Structure 1
Amino acid sequence: MLAELDQVKKQYKDFTLDCSMKIQEDCVTGLIGANGAGKSTTFKMLLGLVRPDSGEIRIFGKNRKDLSENDRREIGTVLSDSFFSGYLTVAQLMSFMGDFYPGFQKKEFEKQCGRFQLPVDKKIKEFSTGMKAKLKILFAISVNARFLILDEPTAGLDVMSRETILDLLREYMEVPGRGVLISSHISSDLEQFCDEIYMIDRGKIVMQEETDRILGNYGVLKLDDRSFASLDKKYLLRIRKEAFGYSCLTDQRQFYQENYPDLTVERGTVDQVLTMMTKGEAL
């Protein structure tokens, strides 16, 4: 187990986080939810930037507060709301990173900077949003960490750049014992990259599921009032009243396709499941 949040709670004036999660080795775990759902707070608690009011956070089998300096160096990070000083050049940052992280792979990092056309002698404040996003990712994967915590790492990147970044992260995961916790508003990135997904809504985890099962078994039924009234509802997870009738989330799409061939049953996507889990109602 790389990391675990066990009944971790944090109370703010108008928001409460109450979260339990497990991040396994050799696994890419996605955390998704709307803005303000609690993703960034969860990430910051894992990093020790926010202290929980109760519960326990364990990383590498240790309580978060007992991590050694070497343990902390085993964590690579990208946070959506933080970055290096814009007055530094990439070359200067490489020097600092080498001092802080003995495992920093300088030659590989320089190679990737060339690949992504990131000038090492240019001040970061002159970089575009996309260039800054690439730079943060490259630093995170170049410290030879066991555990990556990535908050919106592909924000600001075009489709081709995002795919290249995901390929780099896949290469990172080829080393046994590593793991990634990632959030993104781009659901297609999570669908093709994550092994499992947690959904968070208003500070609470509302769902945990393997990505393959979401894409393979989940579906959304579209029904008028009459069809809904006669439907076998035992496999419905959420329902939502619509202008045309009802949308219904199920994790047994095949059951409804086989037993109700005239119904419209859409294949589940991460976006659809998140919408239904957060905006739909339980039976």
Structure 2
Amino acid sequence: MILLYIDESGSLDNPADHFAVGGMAVHESDVEAMRLEVERIVQKHLDPHLQKVELHAQPMRSGKGEWRSIPKEVRTKLLESLSQLLGTFKPPSGHRYGLFSVIKAPAAVAHADPLERTFEELLLRFHEMLVRPKGPEEFGIVVADKAKYESILQPVVRRWRESGTRFAPLTKLVEVPLFVDSRATRLIQLADFVAHAVYRKYQAADGTYLEPMLPRFDATGGKMHGLVHLTKDHLTCTCLPCQSRTTQRKAKAPKAKAPKTKIPKVVGVK
């Protein structure tokens, strides 16, 4: 079983704001190994009485809430270390591991529910990884923070599993999303890091925490599947995921045949 832990960053209420959903897909047998890596990093940077604090990227970066009393250099090093972990983690079991995120630009998908469209795209990308051949057949389940969207997403995902999304049925998802308290699991907190890193890149042109993660976003053959930019300008956008799709479209486009050159016949020459 592959578990996709997901969380979000940004706002759907502010028309000038980006909105990102981020996720980390890890096999059930590698969950404990990832959790131990996170705890090792936390113990390295924080004093014992602070080591149970929730790892929430935005307050860590800005020094708000529980992070107010922690020096900026400590918070920065912790953020950098966790970003590096997400971008370099090697599953001990040898099973799949990958990052996913969908970032919706302001005014994008104006004719669809933006929340449904963003989550639909994320689950489609996860499902695409599950159906890609690699050893025994694998199934997936989504684990999400229960804070905001549980009542909205439960019936939507149930409908997608039963009758399909706009593009394909989600046959490899064995259940509707499971919603948990983000304070109870470090892996949901890592999903928040993915969402926030992508959000900062597109909202504030700050790729500090996204760059170390890029190698582990799901991709095949030079096409980045795991990072999707929903924008009206996708044909001209120069960001990495948009460019990878533009390159793939050009590579698949049929090549125009060169016109045949007709050699004139010279009369009287044998």
What TM-score results when the alignment is normalised by the length of structure 2?
0.29
Question: Normalized per residue, which structure has more helix?
Answer: 2
Q: Which has the larger radius of gyration?
A: 2
What TM-score results when the alignment is normalised by the length of structure 1?
0.28
Question: Normalized per residue, which structure has more strand?
Answer: 1
